[in-house]
Every structure is written in structure tokens, then in C-alpha cells.
Amino acid sequence: MFKRSKMGGFTLIELMVVVAIVAIITAIAVPSYQEQVRKSNRGLAKSDLLELTQCAERFHTTNTTYTGFDAATACDVDGKDGDKYDFGVANITRTTFTLSATAQGGQVDDKCGNLGINQANVRTHSAGTAADRCWE
């Protein structure tokens, strides 16, 4: 008769169970991680928008108008966002302005979408979530 030796190791079933568990954990962890990265990038964009708002107010204090305000030349924003947001200035008049941060690349999937702020500190976003949650 054959002698059965006691060999150590894993069976194919055990390996498949481990692979399935790793796949499930990955399917849960990766989207959560990506959402946290988008949230972090949104935080940087909000910070830059607030800094640009302060810069616009300084410009208005000096010139008594927002007309002529150019964020690219008047402000020294770090641009920590890289290519995640494109910043713009619109609706510039003597007494009003609107700043915007348009999501780019992977940031387009962010739940808050594009962000905006004006001279009256009215904060906006382009997504369907509550504005207070996007700007908290």
C-alpha cells in the first residue's frame, strides 16, 4: 500500500479563499481611499479660494474697486492643488467679484464638484449636496 506522507502547505481552496478575502477588502478600501484623496484636494482648493478672496479684498482696499483684479498676478497662491482645480475670476465689477475652482482630472468625481465664492462670502458648489457640507 501507499504511505501517505504529511506534507505541509496550502490547498488550492485555502489559497482561493485568501484571494477572495483580499479582493473584497480591496473593493471596499480603494474607493474609500480615493474619496479621502478627493476630500483632501477639495480642502486645498477651498483654502486657495479663501486666500484669493483675501487678496481681492486687499486689492479693493487699495484701489476702491475690484475692476482690474487679476488673481494670477496680484496673489501669491501656493497652488498646492497642482492640476486638481483650475482657478478663475469672473463677474468683476467695481463692487463685485466671483472666484471659482473648476475640478480637473480625477477631482471631477468629487461629490461637491466645482467650488465658488464671491465678495459677500457666499460659497457655492456645482453638485447636489448641501453647500455647508462642501465648505465645512
Give the separation between CA 13 and CA 85, rounded to whole angstroms.
47
- Cβ of 102: how many Cβ atoms within 10 Å? 16
pLDDT of residue 82: 65
Mean pLDDT for 26-50 is: 92
Give the separation between CA 70 and CA 59, rounded to whole angstroms.
9
Per-residue pLDDT band for 32 (boundaries 50, 70, 90) equals very high
What are the tens digits of pLDDT across the range 45-84? Answer: 999 999 999 999 999 999 999 999 987 777 876 665 568 9
What are the tens digits of pLDDT across the range 117-126? Answer: 999 999 999 8
- Would you put residue 133 in left (φ > 0), alpha (ψ -120 to 50) or beta? alpha
24: pLDDT strictly greater than 60: yes
- Would you put residue 113 in left (φ > 0), alpha (ψ -120 to 50) or beta? left
pLDDT of residue 10: 82
pLDDT of residue 135: 84
The DSSP secondary structure of 25-93, one letter per residue, reads HHHHHHHHHHHHHHHHHHHHHHHHHHHHHHHHHHHHHHHSSSTT--HHHH-----TTTTSEEEEEE---
- % pLDDT > 70, the chain: 87
115 and 45 in contact (C-beta within 8 Å)? yes
Q: Mean of the per-residue pLDDT values for the chain?
A: 87
pLDDT of residue 5: 61
